[in-house]
């Protein structure tokens, strides 16, 4: 990418708060603040962390039958998605691989979609091309802020009482400090929390108001990654990509029964075959027994010494207090409890396959 | 006893023909919270520039490169159980190796404290 990195409406605030800025998917984003990744991670598990996720793509879909059109490019059910509800889904390609994962919300007179920062350039044209009769509008004048953690309800609810009554995967428009914001009760940390879409000219003021709460501290991309990894949530480009199918990635929970049975989405042939017969590999949790973190690309061997897969995400889990990882292993392997070996810098290190997530998800059901 | 510094952000304190080697506070601060340190064993010999260990922080893995030719005579074992000591006391208790110098003339290629301060700005 040759363009200068872009800045979100909160850039100056990050710098003021001591954020260490790095280039991420073409955006200048804070990887951490003075508290440090470990502290920010624990803050989010115990109280609340605030993340700037304005680099993600916010998109409005308008048309007579957006839901039906979306079902042509994503394998979840949208015609039954009620107003005020959000759903995790993904775009699949003709080979049944995953083009990107995203959140789709039924906002009543339109659908609201949030896609990964790194895939905006692909997803917007993809939707514009395939969603017939749908007006696809990318939003450039709103920040997106995530407040995550057990105190998120108080941090957000103090400024927006309507937020308290929301449940996991619900979305609504509400007033915060005199401004119309879209709140969605979801996130990417395994904790309760909200993602809040805020007009850019009010983003700093509202963010400061959240941070003024005793329980809320800013958190960067470093903590976001360790939190989502402990929560067993996939990162597009690491754990899922154009080659991995939803069956391999254990994401079939995001495909409702009718969609599994009827198909009618790109790559349905492969995905339905894998649903019936099993996939050639599957994504599993992996817990190294020693202290050495196993990072992306580390080879996974079975007890007999044959290569059975590779790590796709790995690092240190601050809440677990030990290294944690996810990776693919071939069919016939992958039952929790299976002993494996990880080849880290040429040395074989013992590890065990475990059920995901590594920490209990604390959603407001 | 003289302390030298390498461009790889290591400090090397020399007494006779033995040097104690660790990473600088600046390096530790840049790495962030350290969660793992992989060390070679006493008796291992190496040449300047060889990889002689790895430090992993919550962010990433970083290699430790030998600042000189030599042989490891002692390994700081506290780092195996408490790698975080590298953040708290990188220029003190959390030294990484004691090494026997093979060629003391190589010390001339290293920096003194003023030179190192200039390097890190």
Average pLDDT over residues A19-45: 96
Report chain B's mean pLDDT, rounded to a whole number. 95
* pTM strictly above 0.90: yes
Predicted complex ipTM? 0.85
- pLDDT at res. A4: 86
A23 alpha-carbon distance from chain centroid: 19
Both tokens of B18, joined, read 């033995």
Residue B103 and residue A226: Cα distance in Å, rounded? 44
Average pLDDT over residues A90-100: 98
- pLDDT at res. A346: 92
- pLDDT at res. A24: 95
Bridge partners (DSSP) listed for residue A29: A22
Nearest CA in chain A to B30: A20
The reply to whether A334 touches chain B by the CB within 8 Å rule is: no
pLDDT of residue B12 exceeding 80, the answer is: yes
pLDDT in tens, A311-350: 999 999 999 999 999 999 999 999 999 999 999 999 999 9
pLDDT in tens, A269-288: 999 999 999 999 999 999 99
pLDDT of residue A162 exceeding 60, the answer is: yes
Percent of chain A with pLDDT over 90: 98
- pLDDT at res. A154: 98
pLDDT of residue A88 exceeding 80, the answer is: yes
Q: Does domain A1-278 have CATH number 3.40.50.2300?
A: no
Name the 3-class secondary structure at B73: strand
**Phi–psi pair at A201, nearest 5 degrees:** -75, -10
In a domain, B113, yes or no: no
Both tokens of A289, joined, read 């027994």
The model's confidence at residue B60, banded by pLDDT at 50, 70 and 90, is confident
The model's confidence at residue B1, banded by pLDDT at 50, 70 and 90, is confident
User: Residue B8: is it exposed, middle or buried by C-beta count within 10 angstroms (0-12/13-18/19+)?
Assistant: middle
Percent of chain A with pLDDT over 70: 99
Average pLDDT over residues A77-83: 98
- pLDDT at res. A2: 58
In angstroms, the separation between the Cα of residue A292 and the nearest Cα of chain B is 6
Both tokens of A340, joined, read 């494996």
Query: Of B58, B80, B83, which is closest to A38 when you measure between CB atoms?
Result: B58
Listed by start position, the domains of chain A span 1-278, 280-354
CATH number for the domain spanning B20: value is: 2.40.50.100
Among the residue ranges A21-25, A99-103, A225-229, B56-60, the one predicted with the least confidence is B56-60
- pLDDT at res. A86: 98
pLDDT of residue A1 exceeding 60, the answer is: no
Contacts of B54 in chain A (CB under 8 A): 345
- Secondary structure of A53-114 in the HEC alphabet? CCCCEEEEEEECCHHHHHHCCCCCCCCCCCCCEEEEEEEECCCCCEEEEEEEEECCCCEEEE
H or E element: which one contains B96? none
In a domain, B90, yes or no: yes
Report chain A's mean pLDDT, rounded to a whole number. 97
Residue B35 and residue B26: Cα distance in Å, rounded? 17
pLDDT in tens, A193-209: 999 999 999 999 999 99
B1 alpha-carbon distance from chain centroid: 16
Average pLDDT over residues A129-148: 98
Number of domains within chain B: 1
Residue A219 and residue A44: Cα distance in Å, rounded? 8
In a domain, B121, yes or no: no
Q: In which domain, by residue range, is B80 found?
A: 2-104
- pLDDT at res. B59: 85
- pLDDT at res. A134: 98
Query: Of A37, A291, A345, which is closest to B59 when you measure between CB atoms?
Result: A37
Query: Of B33, B38, B61, which is closest to A38 when you measure between CB atoms?
Result: B33
Nearest CA in chain B to A39: B33
pLDDT of residue A296 exceeding 70, the answer is: yes
Q: Does domain A280-354 have CATH number 3.40.640.10?
A: no
The answer to whether the peptide bond before residue A247 is cis (omega within 30 degrees of 0) is no
Residue A212 and residue A13: Cα distance in Å, rounded? 13
The reply to whether A291 touches chain B by the CB within 8 Å rule is: yes
Nearest CA in chain B to A225: B59
Contacts of B61 in chain A (CB under 8 A): 293, 295
Contacts of A226 in chain B (CB under 8 A): 58
- pLDDT at res. A140: 96
A/B interface, count of CB pairs below 8 Å: 37
């Amino acid at each position: 990418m040759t363009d200068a990195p872009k800045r979100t409406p909160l850039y100056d605030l990050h710098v003021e708060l001591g954020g260490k800025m790095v280039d991420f998917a073409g955006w200048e984003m804070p990887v951490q603040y003075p508290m440090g990744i470990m502290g920010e991670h624990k803050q989010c598990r115990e109280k609340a962390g605030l993340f700037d996720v304005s680099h993600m793509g916010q998109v409005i879909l308008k048309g007579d039958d957006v839901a039906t059109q979306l079902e042509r490019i994503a394998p979840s059910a949208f015609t039954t998605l009620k107003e005020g509800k959000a759903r995790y889904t993904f775009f699949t390609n003709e080979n049944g691989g995953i083009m990107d994962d995203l959140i789709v919300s039924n906002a009543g007179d339109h659908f609201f979609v949030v896609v990964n920062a790194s895939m905006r350039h692909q997803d917007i044209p993809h939707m514009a091309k395939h969603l017939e009769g749908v007006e696809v509008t990318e939003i450039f004048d709103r920040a997106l802020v995530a407040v995550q953690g057990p105190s998120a309800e108080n941090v957000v609810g103090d400024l927006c009482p309507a937020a308290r009554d929301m449940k996991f995967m619900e979305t609504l428009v509400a007033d915060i400090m005199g401004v119309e914001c879209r709140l969605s009760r979801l996130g990417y940390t395994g904790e309760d929390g909200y993602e809040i879409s805020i007009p850019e000219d009010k983003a700093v003021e509202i963010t400061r108001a959240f941070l003024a709460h005793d329980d809320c501290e800013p958190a960067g991309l470093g903590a976001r990654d360790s939190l989502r990894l402990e929560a067993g949530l996939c990162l597009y480009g690491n754990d899922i990509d154009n080659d991995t199918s939803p069956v391999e990635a254990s994401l079939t929970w995001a495909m409702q029964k009718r969609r599994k049975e009827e198909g009618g989405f790109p790559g349905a042939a492969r995905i339905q075959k894998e649903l019936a017969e099993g996939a050639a590999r599957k994504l599993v949790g992996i817990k190294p027994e020693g202290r050495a973190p196993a990072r992306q690309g580390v080879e996974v061997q079975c007890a007999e010494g044959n290569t059975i897969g590779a790590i796709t995400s790995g690092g240190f889990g601050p809440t677990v207090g030990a290294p944690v990882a996810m990776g693919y292993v071939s069919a016939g392997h992958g039952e929790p409890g299976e002993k494996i070996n990880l080849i880290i810098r040429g040395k074989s290190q013992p590890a065990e396959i475990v059920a995901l997530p590594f920490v209990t998800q604390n959603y407001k059901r | 006893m003289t302390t030298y510094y390498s461009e790889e952000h290591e400090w090397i304190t020399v007494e006779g023909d033995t040097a104690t080697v660790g990473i600088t506070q600046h390096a530790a601060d840049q790495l962030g919270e350290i969660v793992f340190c992989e060390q070679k064993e006493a008796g291992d010999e190496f040449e300047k520039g060889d990889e002689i260990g790895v430090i992993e922080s919550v962010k990433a893995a970083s290699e430790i490169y030998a600042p000189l030719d030599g042989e490891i005579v002692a390994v700081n074992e506290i780092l195996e159980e408490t790698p975080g000591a590298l953040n708290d006391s990188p220029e003190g208790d959390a030294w990484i190796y004691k090494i026997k110098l093979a060629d003391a003339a190589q010390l001339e290629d290293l920096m003194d404290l003023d030179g190192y301060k200039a390097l890190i700005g």
